[in-house]
């Protein structure tokens, strides 16, 4: 692996740890040239379904987009990074278990809303208000009333 600091091609692993849940391996590496250390993460390479957008376009699944949308909804909310990562892992597990080659973006949105509802009610309402694109205040009020119950 190439060093991210000096681009030297020779680095060596100085420490390896398996994550608590066993889903990935964390490796500490050291560059043979500049001797700086950095961390890499090893995860299994799996094929997620393609995402079919509302306009019919097909795009590849990107974990970073899912993380960004959840972080936006959870901004300034008392939810830990570990809780967010766990929620994303549950969504990804559901996507893989479906065994589909393609999935509608709306279905992923529903999975995200289900996870946000468990994590934080305010984040759930934030996400739903954008995702569902309410036409009037009464639709929004119904959502808030549903969360209150």
DSSP the chain: ---TTT--S-EEEEEEEE-TTSS-EEEEEEETTT--EEEEEE-----PPEEE-TTS-EE---HHHHHHHHHHHTTTSS--HHHHHHHHHHHHHHHHHHT-SEEEHHHHHHHHHHHHHHH-HHHHHHHHHHHTT-SSHHHHHHHHHHHH-
Residues 58-109 have pLDDT tens digits of: 999 999 999 999 999 999 999 999 999 999 999 999 999 988 999 999 999 9
Tell whether the model's pLDDT for residue 140 goes beyond 80.
no
What is this structure's pTM?
0.65
- Which of 137, 80, 132, 136 is CA-nearest to residue 110? 132
Beta pairing, strands 50-52 & 102-104: parallel
Position with higher pLDDT, 31 vs 45: 31
Reported confidence tier of residue 30, pLDDT bands at 50, 70, 90 = very high
Question: Which pLDDT does position 17 carry in this prediction?
Answer: 92
Reported confidence tier of residue 143, pLDDT bands at 50, 70, 90 = confident
Reported confidence tier of residue 144, pLDDT bands at 50, 70, 90 = confident
- The pLDDT of 28-47, averaged and rounded, is 90
Question: Which pLDDT does position 31 carry in this prediction?
Answer: 96
What percent of the chain has a predicted confidence (pLDDT) above 90? 67
């Amino acid at each position: 692996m190439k060093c991210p600091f000096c681009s030297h091609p020779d680095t060596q692993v100085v420490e390896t740890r398996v994550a608590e849940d066993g889903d990935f391996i964390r490796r500490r590496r050291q560059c043979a040239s500049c001797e700086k250390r950095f961390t890499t993460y090893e995860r299994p390479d799996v094929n997620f379904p393609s995402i079919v957008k509302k306009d019919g376009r097909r795009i590849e699944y990107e974990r970073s987009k899912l993380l960004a949308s959840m972080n936006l909804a959870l901004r300034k909310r008392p939810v830990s990074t570990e809780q967010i990562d766990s929620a994303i892992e549950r969504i990804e597990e559901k996507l893989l278990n479906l065994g589909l080659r393609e999935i509608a973006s709306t279905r992923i949105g529903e999975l995200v809303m289900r996870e946000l509802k468990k994590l934080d009610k305010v984040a759930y309402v934030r996400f739903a208000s954008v995702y569902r694109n309410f036409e009037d205040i009464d639709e929004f009020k119904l959502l808030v009333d549903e969360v209150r119950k």
